[in-house]
Amino acid sequence: MAALLRQARPVLGRFSWVPIRGFAACVGTDIVKEVPDASLQKARTWDEGVSSQFSTTPLSELFGGKKVVIFGLPGAFTGVCSAQHVPSYLKNAQKFKEKGVDSIICVAVNDPYVMNGWAEKLQAKEAIEFYGDFDGRFHKSLQLDLDLSAALLGPRSQRWSAFVDDGKIKVLNVEKVPSEFKVSGGETILGQI
């Protein structure tokens, strides 16, 4: 996949994120105010979705008055996401708690049912909260979206991590290429809190 994404780079143009999009400007942003209409969908089974009338979780509930480590990735059940990204947070979950982090959130442009199945497969639901961003609105609003159509994935999330304190982004790390895993892992952000 990495080779395919590198080949797709000139076609998509958006793979040169950092210089074009200026993510440093996001640090200090109040994520709740920046994306007031966005909400995320907690990972759950289809039956749980039906019984909750397909409820969503407002960002104010996720971030208001809390210290949150959140990380986004291109998609559930994909290589780097399953083998490296999520495990880096899972193995550091206790260390995040010791630093006063209230919750660890994983989000991807997937539906909440896929996110639930993936979280169960990874045996990570106890330590990490999984959310879907089914329409990508959350990622688009923060300019953390990208087009991975060249890899047959369509609109997705970039690979990133952030530390959010009471809704304000204190630290933001974005990978230059979604197949890379250099700056968005659990160990990196743990050292930045």
Beta carbons of 61 and 155 less than 8 angstroms apart? no
What residue ranges define each of the domains in the chain, with the CATH number in brackets? 2-190 (3.40.30.10)
Q: How far is residue 77's CA from residue 83's CA, in Å, rounded to a whole number? A: 9
**pLDDT one-digit tens code per residue, 137-174:** 888 887 787 877 666 665 778 889 999 999 999 999 98
Residue 94 has a CB neighbour count (10 Å cut-off) of 8
Half-sphere exposure of 6 (CA within 13 A, CB side): 5
Q: Which two tokens stand for residue 80?
A: 């780097």
Task: Give the chain's length.
Answer: 193
Residues designated catalytic: 81
**pLDDT one-digit tens code per residue, 47-103:** 998 999 898 999 999 999 999 999 999 888 887 777 778 999 999 999 999 999 999
Half-sphere exposure of 159 (CA within 13 A, CB side): 24
* pTM score over 0.85: no
